[in-house]
Amino acid sequence: MSTDLHTILRLSVPLIVRIGQRTMHMSEVVSLGPGAILELSKSVDEDLDLLVNNKPVARGSAVKVGENFGVRINAVGTAQDRVNAMKG
């Protein structure tokens, strides 16, 4: 393995698990407070999106790991998709 590739593979990148998304008016965002509940368009049965650099690289489902949440990976994009996600 080349030194450049070895260095790249050791990089730490933020991984985001997106459970859903929603568009809101700024007035709604400003009025949010403790206890507010936001309904998302994604069903409980749908996979969660795993993003690197805001680009999808995999999909999974939520699981409980002890007292924490985890994600069971159900599908992974190609190696090229994952490399492309790490590009700036």
Q: What is the pLDDT along the chain (88 residues), one digit of tens a residue?
A: 567 778 877 888 889 999 988 999 999 999 999 999 999 988 888 999 999 888 899 999 999 999 999 999 999 988 777 777 777 5
| d(C-alpha 48, C-alpha 51), whole Å | 10
Closest CA to 22 of 32, 7, 14: 32
Q: What pTM was estimated for this model as a whole?
A: 0.71
CATH, domain range 15-86 = 2.30.330.10
How is residue 13 written in tokens? 């990148």
